[in-house]
Structure 1
Amino acid sequence: MTHQVPFHRLIASDDEIEAMVRTLRSGWLTTGPQVREFESEFARAVGVKDAIAVSSGTAALHLLLLAAGIGPGDEVIVPTLTFTATAASVAHVGARPVLADVDPDSLMLTGAEIERRLTSQTRAVLMVHFAGLHGDMKDLTAAAGPSRLVFEDAAHALPSSRDGRHAGAVSDGAAFSFYATKTLSTGEGGMVILPDREQAARARKLLLHGMSKGALDRYGSGSWWYDIEDLGFKYNMTDVAAALGRQQLTTLTARRSARRTIVDAYDSAFASHPALQLPSRLDEESHSWHLYVLRLNLDRLHCSRDAFLDQLRQRGIGANVHFIPLHLHSAYQRRYAYRPGDFPQAEGEYQRMISLPLWPGMTARDISAVTTAVLDIAEAELKG
């Protein structure tokens, strides 16, 4: 029987399970003391003054933009090579997402590309640290200029750092995701970073219906009375999720190291093959290794990326693709008139990208099954 290797598998430690059980037994499930501690501990880990826990990375992006005052009439430059949440969050605050091409090596925005997309309506740039590699924020900030905001979509980037500063701490605001496959996962969840105190206070209010008090304050020893001070959302994180996040935060470095061990094995297996290109990287600290994105040198292969991926899946390897560029999706074509060919670098790289399984807990047998399958297919399809 073929050895099956899923794209991701949850490996919950006893400590993580016990942290959630303790919270369940405490009698408090919604936003409460665990969330407050998680926010404080996360802020210290990333090197910022404050962090705001929310229900998803998408909620984090939405609140980040709203609290920073992005709205109708504004344009926000977003890479086309990202998940829809990055650009859709811009649309949801009434602004226009202006898609941009990416560097063919790093797969991220560059200062030169930002300069090509700037208009008098450009209010902000939203950088995506693709696959977990910490992007060049200095380049982007210089290109954006002092009158525009620069934000980080750091959904992939925990715990990466560059020049001694963590992702999420080098901009006008950042959004993290704790989705199931992320390097720190609460199942669903996210975190907002806003250095401006007034903006952070607004985000905190908006995340729970615009209420002047949360449940912990209303049901505790204080007054039951509250006011709806703004029209907000239901974006708060639960204490159960925060308890899991707090425990994972203590093992974040170890789990990144486990991911790196798998990456090293992949690199070693694929480095010398003429049809395979390894992921871009800088140094040990600059990459969280949320994704391992292998690129196929299609000019050396008889098959397409899709055919290669189909063969991997037939062999039980849960490979995937991250991401279909936004300008190729019908919603972005219908709403903003984008078309295939608009962003040739992103489109060309997308056509040769495969994300391989990468999760702490992968065994030597799992890793061998992945590398063997990739190399077998590459050899069988190799030209010449």
Structure 2
Amino acid sequence: MKIPFSPPFVDDDVLKEVADTLRSGWITTGPKVKALEQEINKLTGCQQTLCVNSWTSGAILTLKWLGVKAGDEVIVPAYTYAATALSVIHCGATPILVDVLPDFNIDPAAVAKAITAKTKAIIAVDIAGLMCDYDRLKEIVSAPEALAQFNAESDVQQKMGRVMVIADAAHSIGAKYKHLNSGVCADVNIFSMHAVKNITTAEGGAISLHLPASFNAQEVYELMRLWSLNGQTKDAFSKSNGSGWRYDILFDGLKVNMPDICAAIGLAQIKKYNHNLIVERKRIAQQYEAYFTSRSWAQLPILKDEHRETCYHLYALRIVGITEIERDEMIAHIVKLGVAVNVHFLPLPMLTTFKNKGFDIKDFPVSYDNYAREISLPIYPQLTTEQVNFICSAVEDSYHTVKASEKIA
């Protein structure tokens, strides 16, 4: 049996939506993108959503809109994909890395210690679809000591009046935090719609706004839309519909818009997300939980607790009492048995570009421990009960094989 790690969900509805776009004669940013934005608004309850061509683009756009520049600092967890910190670097600012908790998410206590007069934002990462403690993060940035040293240097920062809380919600569309949907728990919430995500547009991202009352979300959306199209006052779809050719470039914008041909894939998926796709992901996660809960060597991920429910994006299993090398040996054995698995993620201080910036993994012990014992198992709607059973058996067989060879050695 061969089981891939995370193939995209493509059914007849996806094919029909894409074909409809191709037949329409309009494949770049247009009505399908707008429709997807509106569906994300409905799914999350956020104020406005702007679709872009990647999570990274969305983060860079957001930070530039905020006015983040050279000399500024943005706090990010050491345990995340590189794009979280790279988006800060691309704005000329400095990422300040902090450790995480055993649930994989950013440690609020570490955040509180890291805030300085240079801090402009925190990017909290919802690893595997389990959301961070956003209430605690907002308490920290609103505390008198944080407010006293906040240095507003742009109009947006002045309006915010504090450090902005940004959710790296790349994994968490459909997740819950205190009965709220991912998309409304931070000031700005950025989703990924990359090929392996719960809802995909092949490549893509979405910026969902849930800003304080001092902002007009519609105005921010319109400004961000300009940002995504080179700062141009009139997009191609408007010009093609008879609004005239003449345009202006208002500022140094980016070119990060999502095309309709991509939005069509996500549009077909999001319409069945709550009643189908996420239900199937939950079914698989619960099957894993039922199997591994009796294995003393398995540390199960949190699927649901008092305040949160994941969206079942990843099943991040950790193995008790093994080393990083043994974990890699387990993965090699699982793959040999026909199951593709993954690791989420290599902590940033273990990557060359961050090592060269002076970061040392020894300063982030929880991040390293989480990483060194983690194996991400396949979880997607197409998996059958038989396939999940096979995956479970492959993991167990690999564990006992590695442990047996260790005793022999």
Output the TM-score relative to the length of structure 1.
Answer: 0.95
Cα displacement (A) at 1:285 = 6.6
Residue 133 of structure 1, aligned match among 130, 133, 136: 130
Correspondence 1:250 to 2:247: no
Aligned to 2:254: 233
Contact 2:192 2:206 in 1 (8 A): yes
Instruction: Kindly provide the CA deviation profile for residues 217-250 of structure 1, in whole angstroms up to 9, marking residues without a partner as x.
Output: 1121211100011122221111111122111111
Tell me what 2:198 maps to: 183
Q: Distance in 1 between matches of 2:374 and 2:93?
A: 30
**Alpha-carbon distance, 1:302 to partner:** 11
Specify which of 285, 289, 296 is matched with residue 267 of structure 1.
289
Q: Is the Cα–Cα contact under 8 Å of residues 302 and 381 in structure 1 kept in the other structure?
A: no
Q: SS of the counterpart of 1:341?
A: helix
- For 1:49, the equivalent position in structure 2 comes to 47
Is 2:112 the partner of 1:89? Answer: no
1:125–1:144 Cα contact (<8 Å) kept = no
Distance 2:355 2:182 in 1: 31
Report deviation, 1:96: 0.7
Offset from partner CA, 1:21-79 (integer Å, 9 cap, x none):
01100111111111111112211221012100111111111111111222222111100
The DSSP-based 3-state class of the residue aligned with 1:347 is helix
Letter of the structure 2 residue corresponding to residue 271 of structure 1? T
**Alignment deviations for residues 319-360 of structure 1 (CA, whole Å, 9 cap, x no partner):** 1100000011110111x2112301111011111001011111
SS in structure 2 of the partner of residue 304 of structure 1? helix
Describe the superposition over 1:270-318 as per-residue Cα deviations: whole angstroms up to 9, x where unpaired: 111111110023259721111100001125x897111111111111110
Count the aligned residue pairs: 379
Q: Report the equivalent of 1:295.
A: 318
Write the letter of the residue equivalent to 1:136.
D
Counterparts of 1:64 and 1:314 in 2: how far apart (Å)? 43
Distance 1:303 1:84 in 2: 22
Q: Percent same amino acid at aligned positions?
A: 34
1:208 pairs with one of 229, 232, 239: 229
Structure 2: 5+ residue stretches without partners: 148-161
Contact 1:54/1:236, CA 8 A, preserved across alignment: yes
1:303/1:381 contact within 8 Å kept: no
Distance in 2 between residues matched to 1:363 and 1:85, nearest whole Å: 33
Once residues 82 and 274 of structure 1 are traced to their aligned partners in structure 2, the CA distance between those partners, rounded to angstroms, is: 27
Deviation at 1:9, TM superposition (A): 1.7
Of 151-160 and 336-345, more deviation after overlay is shown by 336-345
* Cα deviation digits, residues 91-136 of structure 1 (max 9, x gap): 11111110110001x1111221111212221111111011001221
Residue 39 of structure 2 aligns to a residue whose secondary structure is helix
Task: Answer yes or no: is the 8 Å Cα contact 1:110–1:139 preserved in 2.
Answer: no
What is the TM-score of this pair, normalised by structure 2? Answer: 0.89
Cα distance in 2 between the residues matched to 1:60 and 1:31: 16
**Amino acid across the alignment from 2:101:** D
Residues 177-232 of structure 1, C-alpha deviations (whole Å, 9 max, x = no match): 00011010111011012334354333211111110111111121211100011122
Q: Distance in 2 between matches of 1:41 and 1:276?
A: 38
Distance 1:61 1:125 in 2: 12
Question: Is contact 1:184–1:248 with CA below 8 Å preserved after alignment?
Answer: yes
CA RMSD of aligned residues (A): 1.8
What is the aligned counterpart of 1:333 among 346, 355, 373?
355
**SS of alignment partner, residue 48 of structure 2:** coil
Shift of 1:262: 0.7
Deviation of 1:14 after TM superposition, in Å, equals 0.5
Counterparts in 2 of 1:303 and 1:381: CA distance versus 1, 3 Å: farther
Q: Which moved more, 1:197-206 or 1:359-368?
A: 197-206
Aligned partner (choices 12, 17, 42) of residue 14 of structure 1: 12
Contact 1:75–1:124 under 8 Å retained in 2? yes
1:30 aligns with 2:28: yes
| Structure 1 partner of 2:340 | 318
Greater Cα offset, 150-159 or 202-211: 202-211
Q: Which residue of the other structure, out of 157, 175, 178, is the alignment partner of 1:163?
A: 178
For 2:362 and 2:304, how far apart are their aligned partners in 1?
Answer: 30
Kindly indicate whether the alpha-carbon contact (under 8 Å) linking 1:80 and 1:346 is maintained by their aligned counterparts in 2: yes
Distance across 1 between alignment mates of 2:255 and 2:2: 38
